[in-house]
Amino acid sequence: MTDTILSPPVVIDTCLKACKAMKLMSKQLIIFSSIYAKTPMSTTDKDLPEIFTEIVNNIDNIQSLLTKLGKSTELSIGQESEFVFPDNIVVTHKEYAILYKIFMEFTEEE
């Protein structure tokens, strides 16, 4: 284990790359599910439960790592953070559209 402290640009770049990779994986799963719904069942489908179990386990591992990351960050800035977040934040129209799209994606009932 190293004692390297990452600079903010490295952390931001890593987070953005991870988000892009997860977005791509999300699209791949959506495409797979839409194709699968339109194709007849086959004998190779017997492999799917094991594959989906692996996918869910890996998602759980990522969520655990994000929780660990959050706790580590909380320890480094302390319980009482000196950061004061404003009640109102100004965003551009494009940023608002992105935030609204994400909000709608995660709040829409299927």
The reply to whether 62 and 76 lie within a common domain is yes
- Domain annotation covers residue 99: no
Provide the residue range defining the domain that includes 54: 45-81
Model confidence pLDDT, tens digit, residues 17-39: 999 999 999 999 999 999 999 99
The reply to whether 35 and 1 lie within a common domain is yes
The reply to whether 3 and 32 lie within a common domain is yes
The reply to whether 34 and 1 lie within a common domain is yes
Ramachandran category for residue 103: left, alpha or beta (phi over 0 → left; psi -120 to 50 → alpha):
alpha
Model confidence pLDDT, tens digit, residues 84-93: 777 888 888 9
- Domain annotation covers residue 21: yes
pTM (two decimals): 0.60
